[in-house]
Structure formats: C-alpha cells, structure tokens
Amino acid sequence: MFDIGFMELLVVGVLGLLVLGPERLPKAARTLGLIIGRVRRSMSNLQEDLERHARTEELKAKLRDPAATFLDDDILNPASLHKSDSESTPAEKPPVEDKKE
C-alpha cells in the first residue's frame, strides 16, 4: 500500500523517541498497532460485504433472466467461468494399446 522503507521507519522511530520519550513510546506504538489492526479488519469486512453483495446481485439477475436456466454451468461450476474454450472441452485421447510380445 505505502512504499515505506527501513530508513523512513527508522527516522519515524527516532523522532517518536525524541518527542514521546522512552517511557511513553512503547505504549504509543502498541496503541497505534491496535488502531491499524482495527482499521485493516474493518476494511477487510467492508470488502467482503461488497463482494458478497455483488455476487448476490449477479445471481439475482441470472435468476430473473427468462433465457437462463437455473442449472447453468457457470452457476454449478464457477471454475468454468475462468477457463477458455480450449480448456473447457477435453481433447479426446486415442485408446492406449497394450503391446505384448
């Protein structure tokens, strides 16, 4: 997400040590870590909710379409959506003959 290198983190750490002092810096770092964790979890939950809503709307649209059937291949097998036409139909292999001499 952010392009923060080791040197930038080192500068922030030294400035935090100078401003907060050695007594308050560990508590501030722990609090900052907890806040960042909460924000990440909230964003992850929001992203999952949006994806779930989009999938639900897509399925509703497919069910409303009179030309589509409920037993569509892409509903039963979502992996088929990602395959190309050449991958979806297996090539026929010639029968293997046993060579016994």
The domains of the chain are located at 33-78
Distance CA(101)–CA(80), nearest Å, equals 44
Residue 52 in this model has a pLDDT that exceeds 80: yes
- Output the pTM of the full model: 0.51
* pLDDT reported for residue 88: 47
Q: Which of the two residues, 56 and 69, has the higher pLDDT score?
A: 56
Nearest of 72, 90, 69 to residue 81 by alpha carbon: 72
Nearest of 48, 51, 75, 80 to residue 63 by alpha carbon: 75
Nearest of 16, 40, 44, 43 to residue 28 by alpha carbon: 16
* pLDDT reported for residue 18: 93
- C-alpha pair distances (Å), 63 with each of 20, 26, 44, 79, 82: 60, 55, 29, 19, 21
Which runs of consecutive H residues, i.e. helices, occur in the chain? Answer: 6-64, 73-76, 85-88
| % pLDDT > 90, the chain | 47
At 85, the amino acid letter reads D
